[in-house]
Amino acid sequence: MMDDTHSRTAPSPSAPASVTERQPVWKHGVAAAVVAAIATTVLAALASAAGVSFGDSTGASIPIPLFAVFTLVFSLIGVGIAAVMARKARRPRSTFMRTAVALIVLSFVPSLTFGFDAGSAATLVALHIVAAAIVVPVLVRRLPHTR
C-alpha cells in the first residue's frame, strides 16, 4: 500500500500517457536543504565581507563553512519531521506548519542570547528566516492536507 508521499498522479482521459510520478517529501526536502545551505552560506559570506563579525561575547566566531553545515543538518531534521508527519499525522500539512513555525522561532534564541552583537544577531536571525523560506514551503507543498 502506498502512502500519499509515494502516490502516482492518476492519468485523466485527456492527460498524455507519460504522467510524471510524484516524488516523496524527502527528495524535495533534501534538494531544498541543499539550496538553503548554499544560500545561507553565500549570504553569510557577503555579510562577513560587509563587516558582520559573527563573533560572540567570548570572541569565538562562526566560520563561514559552518553555515552550510548547520543549515543542512537542521534542514534535514525538518525534512525528517515532515516525512514522519506525512505518514503519521492526521493533518500532516497543518501539523507540520505549526511545528515548523515553533521551531523557527526557537532557532532565534541562540542568536539572541549567546552574546552576539546586534548586527551579528540580526543577520543570524535573517539567515534562519532565509533557510526556512526556502525549505518550509517546499515541504508544505508535498504534504497532504489530511491522511
| 98-142: pLDDT as tens digits | 999 999 999 999 999 999 999 999 999 999 999 999 999 999 999
pLDDT at 21 > cutoff 70: no
Percent above pLDDT 90 for the chain: 80
Domain ranges of the chain: 24-54+62-142
Which residues does 115 contact at the CB level (< 8 Å), separation at least 6?
A: 56, 57, 58
Query: What pLDDT does 23 receive?
Result: 59
Q: CB count, 10 Å around CB of 2? A: 8
DSSP 147: -
17, 2, 27, 15: which is closest to 87 by C-alpha?
A: 2
Query: What pLDDT does 17 receive?
Result: 37
Chain-centroid distance, C-alpha 111: 17
| Average per-residue pLDDT for the chain | 88
134, 110, 132: which is closest to 121 by C-alpha?
A: 110
pLDDT at 6 > cutoff 50: no
Region 13-39: mean pLDDT is 74
Report field, pTM of the whole predicted structure over 0.85: no
Query: What pLDDT does 111 receive?
Result: 96
C-alpha cell at 64: 563561514
| 28-71: pLDDT as tens digits | 999 999 999 999 999 999 999 999 999 988 989 999 999 999 99
Query: What pLDDT does 45 receive?
Result: 98
